[in-house]
Structure 1
């Protein structure tokens, strides 16, 4: 899934997502001291805007220039967001730089050396939080499914298995999706929240 794929996905409709913060992010970040956040696969910007409105300094990255244009427009004059075109498969984020690394429904592709995943883990500063939320997938995709194979991507429990004793896993569970959008087939999420200790 490259830039062309995602640009086409966004061009297919005027607004691809709801424009509201993802419920899993809102629930898990509540009560955290704001700091520096990395929003991976920021899409049209709802999560980044919510984080900024709650005091975070946000670096929001996406591979789609169409999505980033919409995100910038939605944010208006919000100065606490740095919108960046970036592909973490090619350019890993800076190491130990973020108090929160958030991947909300972001497809992290499996790789033999886990390079992209390791780059995202390395971006979390000491004491910082990794937050990954994915759809709970049960069974094969529908017969008419034309998207990528869900089996090509890491799920939160697999990511948890890659964390060593420098991490504390605070949440690693499936749960009903928070603020379920209307007509959305995904009713349950997998949630991983882990803190880097050193």
Structure 2
């Protein structure tokens, strides 16, 4: 069988989740908490949901959440997390290979946290689809690493990190229809697997779609 980019990505992420214990902390991403805490609950789409921490956090605050990931194992863990939190009735989990398929419908919040991958991912297409899925009056929240951690002296693979302006240009959102509410770079502590302390910078875009 010829290996396609989608098959390679699916195998990579499934192996990462399947071949060990939990990959993430189980806590929501801090910049989601910061940016979504003041939003009125509605319907939310969490892209690359992993083990479900962001989607579950949103549902505990009154949202209805759809979590999307490429890994079956990640989605199984996400569903278990939702069940343990008592919010299974407010969550839906869908498997998609982003860049090739995308959830149907529109959402009051589309959350795209760290859609960066060492295997092929059409990031520009996914982010444009994410913007198209935002309902009138809704919010697109994007968070991405701006660089390698300060302690990463030998990067494990080549990567092109986004710039604030570069992502806005790629989204090409009409100013008449969208308002940039947050455009920020946040520095946070980062510790290497060997215990070396350092930092890493993350870019944040919170963009609101105009009411119809």
Identify the TM-score tier after normalising by the shorter chain.
0.7 to 0.9
Equivalent position of 2:181 in the other structure? 170
Runs of 4+ in 1 over 3 A off after TM superposition: 108-111, 141-144, 153-157, 180-186
Q: Provide the C-alpha distance between the structure 2 equivalents of 1:89 and 1:24, rounded to a whole number of angstroms.
A: 24
Q: TM-score scaled to structure 2, two decimals?
A: 0.79
- Specify which of 90, 97, 100 is matched with residue 90 of structure 1: 100
Partner SS state of residue 2, structure 1:
helix
The one of 66, 69, 73 aligned to 1:62:
69
Where structure 2 has 5 or more consecutive residues not aligned to the other structure, the ranges are 1-7
Match of 1:129 among 129, 133, 139: 139
Kept after mapping to 2: 8 A contact 1:37/1:58: yes
Structure 1, unaligned runs of 5 or more = none
Q: Does the aligned pair in 2 maintain the 1:93–1:120 contact within 8 Å?
A: no
Equivalent residue for 1:159?
167
- Larger deviation, residues 158-167 vs 3-12: 158-167
With normalisation by structure 1, the TM-score equals 0.85
Take 1:54 and 1:73, find their aligned partners in 2: how far apart are those partners? 18
1:103 counterpart (86, 89, 112): 112
RMSD: 2.5
State the 1:94 CA deviation: 2.6
